Amino acid sequence: MRKVGIVVGSLRKESFSRKIAVNVAKLFPADYTTEILEIGNLPLYNEEYDQNPPPEYTAFRSKVRDFDAFLFVTPEYNRSIPGVLKNALDVGSRPYGQNAWAGKPAAIISQSIGSLGGFGANHHLRQILTFLDMPTLQQPEAYIGNSPALFDEKGLITNQDTIEFLQSFVDSFVALIERYKA
């Protein structure tokens, strides 16, 4: 059984990123489990905490270590990733030499209410994941534009082409995970 942590870059309960994450979680094979890893409770990273970390840091780092891989689903804020997502990446990668993310395969879905689909956020996040030593799915790339139009009143994605694309994305991510975890 493989465990995939899903990190949503938006804190809003009804965020489009969270809705996409919930829909995509259902596309993984039966022998995979997925869980959204909450990041909103983490105090801002401060190197002074390295010697005496807050309990939220310790719990988060432990949880990160328990997963086999990570799916990041994020909006774009000002052509980059949201601060809350950057904070979670920093907390999980510190103190120096104790990077809990290292070696865990990753995939990125970025989304925006506009037509660019979070291109800037996607590529900034790729740069960070490279430094964190996370092998990241290169193809297919997932930029979801005009995200508010994707969902019905229950938060389900209704466009069959989008569902098929997301399934191919998950299938490619699963192949990457298996390659690195074999």
pLDDT, one tens digit per residue, over 22-57 is 999 999 999 999 999 999 999 999 999 999 999 999
CA distances from 125 to 49, 74, 75, 99, 144 (A): 24, 9, 11, 16, 15
Q: Is the pLDDT of residue 95 over 90?
A: yes
Residue 182 has pLDDT above 80, yes or no: no
For residue 181, the model assigns a pLDDT of 83
Q: Where are the domains of the chain?
A: 2-181
Q: Using CA atoms, how far apart are residues 169 and 167, in angstroms rounded to an integer?
A: 5
Asked if pLDDT for residue 168 goes beyond 80, the answer is: yes
- If you average pLDDT over residues 148-159, what whole number do you get? 96
* Sheet of 69-75, strand order: 32-36, 2-8, 69-75, 106-111, 142-144
> For residue 144, which of 72, 75, 71, 69 has the smallest C-alpha distance?
75
pLDDT at 153: 96
Adjacent-strand bridge partners of 3: 33
Orientation angle between helical segments 55-66 and 83-93, nearest 10 degrees: 80
CATH number for the region 2-181 comes to 3.40.50.360
Mean pLDDT score, 138-156: 96
pLDDT, residue 172, reads: 98
Residue 134: which of 175, 82, 176 has the closest Cα?
Answer: 176
Strands (E) located in 112-154: 142-144
- Kindly report, residue by residue over 12-22, the tens digit of the pLDDT: 999 999 999 99
> Is 80 exceeded by the pLDDT of residue 135?
yes
Q: Tell me, what DSSP letter sits at residue 95?
A: S
